[in-house]
Amino acid sequence: MRKNAKALMVVVTAAALISVAGCGASGTGGYGVSSSPPSAASSSAPQSGTATITIKDFGYQGPVSVSPGAKITVKNEDAQAHTVTSDDGKTFDAAADGGGGTAQFTAPTTPGSYAYHCAYHSNMHGMLVVK
């Protein structure tokens, strides 16, 4: 009987760990930013010219970094409207309607890291790196 109790405890503990590991927003790695492998559009090299931030499943997916002054398109694949609003509320702010809406803004010309969020959904956060 004691062996069965230990085996049951191991199974219950493993199930709990798997359950906890699966918690959180699907496809996001904290702050609602996609943790999927980088693609050509989201490499760590600065994007020159234009870049795209895609909003999907209440998360931001897009370039890790952009060049100063790059044109950034926001593409919203969710049904709800979202924004890409700098945390200071002044550096950039773009609102895109749900269902495929788009908006554009220009990246800051000063290199640095710029935190942003959705003005409508407090759980959505991202980071734009200008270098």
Nearest CA-CA partner of 116 in 80, 69, 84: 84
> How high is the pLDDT of residue 65?
94
Residue 30 has pLDDT above 50, yes or no: no
Burial class (CB in 10 A: 0-12, 13-18, 19+), 25: middle
50-56, strands of its sheet edge to edge: 59-61, 50-56, 71-76, 102-106
Residue 5 has pLDDT above 80, yes or no: no
Taking only the tens place, the pLDDT of each residue in 95-120 is 999 999 999 999 999 999 999 999 99
Residue 24 has pLDDT above 80, yes or no: no
Return the CATH fold of 29-130. Answer: Immunoglobulin-like (2.60.40)
pTM of the predicted protein model? 0.64
Taking only the tens place, the pLDDT of each residue in 41-96 is 334 445 456 899 999 999 999 888 999 999 999 999 999 999 999 999 999 999 99
Q: How many CB atoms lie within 10 A of CB 59?
A: 24
Domain borders along the chain are 29-130
